Homo-oligomer: A and B are copies of this chain.
Amino acid sequence: MRDLEDFNDTNLQPGLSVDCVLFGFDNNELKILLLKLKSIEKWALPGGFVNVDKDVNAEAHAVLKNRIGLENVFLKQFYLFGNLERNLNTHTPELIKNGIISTKRIAFFKQRFITVGYYALVEYSKVKETTVDFISEACEWHSIHNLPKMIIDHKEIILKAHQTLKKELNTEPIGLNLLPKQFTMPELQALYETVLEKKLDRRNFSRKMLNYNILKDTNKRRMGVKHKAPILYEFDMENYNQAIKNGFNSIW
């Protein structure tokens, strides 16, 4: 959402919004970036409206830039949330009552809304401190297992994004943006275990991962750990991007 002064609802695609689920990985926890709205005790995904003269996907990027100052994120569209029910739980009346939405804009906000869901994997440290827009008062990471009270169907949108991410782990690599540039095999495995919410066998994981050919041995080792110092890896970007594009798991 642009600044209040820029907000011209005649220029917006009626009844359409975009919402972004940003996944971060911190301390072996999967976290989601949320905005606390002013004047109501609920949190929201970074989302916004779509200019009638702009591509919907481009507007999802614009929302991240305008609302939380985040650029160059690899956003993936994953679902259109179009149930009528989502409009029953709207927080619009509260926003109107509290003067956050001007009375001139009530008609726009009272429309039936559908929203396009996007997700992205982002570097936790990169968005630790972000700018906050005029309708929010805080921007914070929350553990996916301990989400605060959220507006409309935003909790459901997060769960669907997580489901999609889990499914995509079978066909595509992840790790880029979620791990530091150099990482050990146990660190990569911990990321997978966190996203998949299950323990994996150490040998199997390592064997499969090395077979996919997306890791480069840096010839360095993580120091300061007990026992044998583990190898530090980096992603081989060419092979990684190839695997993202074609899937590393073409079983047929």
Write out the residue numbers on chain B whose beta carbons fall within 8 Å of the beta carbon of A114. 13, 16, 56
For A92-124 the 0/1 string (1 means CB < 8 A from B) is: 000000000000000000001010100000000
Whether A171 lies near B171 (C-beta < 8 A) is yes
Once the chains are docked, how many angstroms separate the CA of A85 from the CA of B57?
12
Whether A249 lies near B170 (C-beta < 8 A) is yes
Q: What distance in Å separates the Cβ of A202 from its nearest Cβ neighbour in chain B?
A: 12
Residue A83 contacts which of B56, B192, B249 (CB distance < 8 angstroms)?
B56
A239 part of interface (Cβ distance < 8 Å): no
Once the chains are docked, how many angstroms separate the CA of A116 from the CA of B205?
38
Report the interface size for chain A: residues with CB under 8 A from the other chain: 35
Stretch at the interface among A24-32, A46-54, A146-154: A46-54
A14 part of interface (Cβ distance < 8 Å): yes
For A178-211 the 0/1 string (1 means CB < 8 A from B) is: 0000000000000010001000100001001000
For A66-82 the 0/1 string (1 means CB < 8 A from B) is: 00000000000101101
A84 part of interface (Cβ distance < 8 Å): yes
Write out the residue numbers on chain B whose beta carbons fall within 8 Å of the beta carbon of A171. 167, 170-171
Q: What distance in Å separates the Cβ of A19 from its nearest Cβ neighbour in chain B?
A: 12
Whether B52 lies near A112 (C-beta < 8 A) is yes
A247 part of interface (Cβ distance < 8 Å): yes
A251 part of interface (Cβ distance < 8 Å): yes
Chain B: CB-nearest residue to A85:
B55
Once the chains are docked, how many angstroms separate the CA of A170 from the CA of B85?
33
Write out the residue numbers on chain B whose beta carbons fall within 8 Å of the beta carbon of A251. 170, 208, 249
Residue A80 contacts which of B15, B53, B56 (CB distance < 8 angstroms)?
B56
Chain B: CB-nearest residue to A84:
B55
Write out the residue numbers on chain B whose beta carbons fall within 8 Å of the beta carbon of A196. 252
A169 part of interface (Cβ distance < 8 Å): yes
Whether A13 lies near B112 (C-beta < 8 A) is yes
Whether B205 lies near A252 (C-beta < 8 A) is yes
Residues of A within 8 A of B (CB): 13-16, 50, 52-57, 77, 79-80, 82-85, 112, 114, 116, 167, 169-171, 192, 196, 200, 205, 208, 247, 249-252
What would be 17 A-B contacts, judged by CB atoms less than 8 Å apart?
A: A14-B15, A15-B15, A15-B52, A52-B112, A53-B84, A55-B83, A55-B85, A56-B80, A56-B82, A56-B83, A57-B82, A57-B83, A82-B116, A170-B171, A170-B250, A170-B251, A249-B251
